[in-house]
Structure 1
Amino acid sequence: MSKGVLGTNVVAQVGIIVKDIEKTSQAYADFFGVEKPPANPTDPLDKAQTNYKGDPTEARAKLAFFDMGSLQLELIEPDEHPSTWREFLDTHGEGVHHIAFVVKDMKATVAKMESRNMPLVQKGEYTGGRYAYMDTFNELKVILELLENDN
């Protein structure tokens, strides 16, 4: 049986945009009775190779991750530079930004989604892999993030 466009139907992560990562991380930690994770900055442009709407961007964010069994909650506090994170916060305020899936062939998956009128909005590298945010909002009502991890 086919796993659809992504090759998987397993949600890996839910990303939430926040204004104050320290305050929101503490609220989640208290609510779930877990330790508050550190909030770490994303890598700078030279390492992350962040690209937003086709152009390089200095955009960075503070990230905090809660591992919740088979699902990870990612809190994202964007900086002021142009990014999908900043655009979301400025347009919608705080809230769910994306649902993420781990894919095996990032380039092929991005191409397949773009052929379905789901354009690439932002991409970048992280230690151990890469990510791509796809504009699936019109059809799916949420942004999808693709994650490809190195072996």
Structure 2
Amino acid sequence: MVIAPPGLVPYQIGVMVADLDAGIDRYRRLLGLSGWKHMDTDYVARYRDWEGRIANRNAFAPWGPIHLEMIEPGIGEGNAREWLDTRGEGIFHVGVAVDDMADRPVAAGVVFEVQSQRTPGGRPAIVHLNTVAELGFFLELAWRPLAERLDAWVRSEAVS
């Protein structure tokens, strides 16, 4: 049983897709999501016993009080690539913003962490917990200042 600290409020739903452009079209058509912003990510991460470079294509759109992140795996052997290869498209993670990266559900170990983004205290600023067997998705913890900056960017007006 996973016991979570109080106040884990989602700010993001992460969805895995094989083709980012087709995924955006599908979610725009079916859910009416608009205002998509693109971000190609390239960072060093650890997934279970593997560590290396991860590079994905990502897109974000506001969705009520949260936002949707769409991920098309690219380079690397992380959990995004494994998820798409073994489970296919669909909800991959639910992201929650936390003040203390050590304040996480009891018995849910870290299986993925971004090595190149750190909190001032030196902890990884983004981690995925081993919650797939119990919840059906990864619980992503994001350091609150990072999550708030990302959400503000997702909701900002495009600059021409």
Specify if TM > 0.5: yes
TM-score, scaled to structure 2: 0.74
Per-residue Cα deviation, 1:29-66 (whole angstroms, up to 9, x for no partner): 24444545233211333xxxx22214422122111111
Cα distance in 2 for partners of 1:65, 1:32 equals 14
Contact 2:42-2:53 within 8 A present in 1 as well: no
| Residue matched to 1:120 | 110
Match status 1:93 vs 2:88 = yes
CA gap 1:15/1:57 in 2 versus in 1, 3 angstroms? same
Structure 1: distance between partners of 2:31 and 2:4 = 34
More strand as a share of residues:
2
Which consecutive unaligned segments of at least 5 residues does structure 2 have? 147-160
- Given that residues 134 and 143 in structure 1 are in contact (C-alpha distance below 8 angstroms), is that contact kept between their aligned partners in structure 2? yes
Distance 1:16 1:60 in 2: 16
Per the normalisation by structure 1, the TM-score is: 0.78
Query: What does 1:102-141 correspond to in 2, within 5 Å?
Result: 102-106=97-101, 108-110=102-104, 113=106, 116=107, 118-124=108-114, 125-126=116-117, 130-141=125-136
Aligned residue pairs total 139
How far apart, CA to CA, are the structure 1 residues paired with 2:42 and 2:144? 16
**Where do residues 1-150 of structure 1 align in structure 2 (5 Å cutoff)?**
5-45=4-44, 50-106=45-101, 108-110=102-104, 113=106, 116=107, 118-124=108-114, 125-126=116-117, 130-150=125-145
| CA displacement at 1:83 relative to structure 2 | 0.5
| 1:100 shift after superposition | 1.2
